[in-house]
A and B are shown apart, each in its own frame.
Chain A
Amino acid sequence: MSFVFEISLLLLLLVTAAGAILVKDLMSAILLLGCYSFFLSVVWAWMGAVDVAFVEAVVGAGLATVLFLLTLFGTQPKDVRLRRPPPPIAALIGLPLLGVLMLYAAKDLPAFGDPASPPSVRISPSYLQQSYQDTRTPNVVTSVLMDYRSLDTMVETVVIFTAGIACAFILRRKTL
């Protein structure tokens, strides 16, 4: 039951990603990419990562789609190239080879949902057990983001501020 749900969600992810890649009209590709982001957030909510799902639904499916659409309204909404030249040989051979190598290494990774996998037993139990005594916050993700790692979060806002400044300077009209 749960397995069927999982496989169908992952198939929806693959189908929307393939649609965003294959569609010729860029506007449709952007909207399919928004669908892909939304299905990604559903998958994350199903995996128990609710905070990540919220952020993806707001920032990924919302803000990124709006940014893409704003760019398209200022430029041409169609991929004008009708016939593409053949792709380089290095990409055609190298990327499938890389994929085969990655899949061959799959058995060294922890199985999906394994409670005894190394990332789940080494350091995260101490965060789960001590965060309420340390920070008085029941949500562990919030306590790590805003308390243990608050400097990281502060510098992240500096990154976003820099990106905003860069956009403002790039898009500034020359004739003031």
Chain B
Amino acid sequence: MVEVFAAIFERPNFLTFVVIFLWGFYIMVTRYNLVKKLVGMYLVQTSVIFFLVSISAKKGATVPILLSPTASVQAIDYVNPLPHVMTLTAIVVGVATLGVALALCSAIYRTYGSLDEEEILKKLE
């Protein structure tokens, strides 16, 4: 039991990821307001990206820009660049999907006059 807690506190990035991910997911499931659901979706997206980037960190390493092109490169001096590239794509695509979702929200408000899920369902019947 003590080992598990020690393992968690050695990885504060993972603890932060779990809290934000699950809380955002809970908001997506339980809230009735559509914009609030999208806030939860944004938290889920960014928490996953945060976890992927935090895997790339190395203690005592610098940013992945080569200090001198001619000297031979030691990989331990630079943080891992590959998760950065993948998450750059993920951030931009995430915001694009968020934009489409928000456009859908305002179209729903224009048609039904409400952003509350239950009122919309009542008007749909």
Contact = CB atoms under 8 A, between A and B. Distances in A.
Q: Do A and B come from one complex?
A: yes
Contacts of B124: none
A166 B16 contact: no
Contact of A163 (B11, B12, B15, B97): B97
B105 interface: yes
Interface in B63-94: 63-66, 69, 72-73, 75-76, 78-85, 87-89, 91-93
A5 B57 CA distance: 15
Nearest to B79: A48
A40 interface: yes
A138 B66 contact: yes
Contact of B58 (A20, A68, A120): A120
Interface residues on A, range: 35 or more
A145 B88 contact: yes
A124 B75 contact: yes
Interface in A109-124: 109-115, 117, 119-121, 123-124
Given A21-B43, A51-B84, A132 B61 contact: no
A137 B90 CA distance: 23
A119 B110 CA distance: 48
B53 A26 contact: no
Given A81-B116, A99-B22, A163-B97, A127 B81 contact: yes
A72 B35 contact: yes
A48 B63 CA distance: 5
A103 B60 CA distance: 26
B4 A56 contact: no
Interface string B2-36: 01100110111111101110111111011111011
Interface of A: 6-7, 10, 13-14, 17-18, 20-21, 26, 29-30, 33, 36-37, 40, 43-44, 47-52, 55-56, 59-60, 63-64, 67-68, 70-72, 74-76, 79-81, 84, 87-88, 91, 95-96, 98-99, 102-104, 106-107, 109-115, 117, 119-121, 123-125, 127-129, 131-132, 138-141, 144-145, 149, 152-153, 156, 159-160, 163-164, 166-167, 170-171
B58 A14 contact: no
20 contacts: A6-B12, A13-B20, A21-B39, A30-B35, A47-B79, A49-B53, A50-B63, A59-B92, A71-B35, A91-B26, A106-B7, A107-B3, A112-B10, A115-B58, A119-B56, A124-B80, A132-B73, A141-B84, A141-B88, A166-B100
B92 A29 contact: no
Given A113-B58, A120-B58, A167 B99 contact: yes
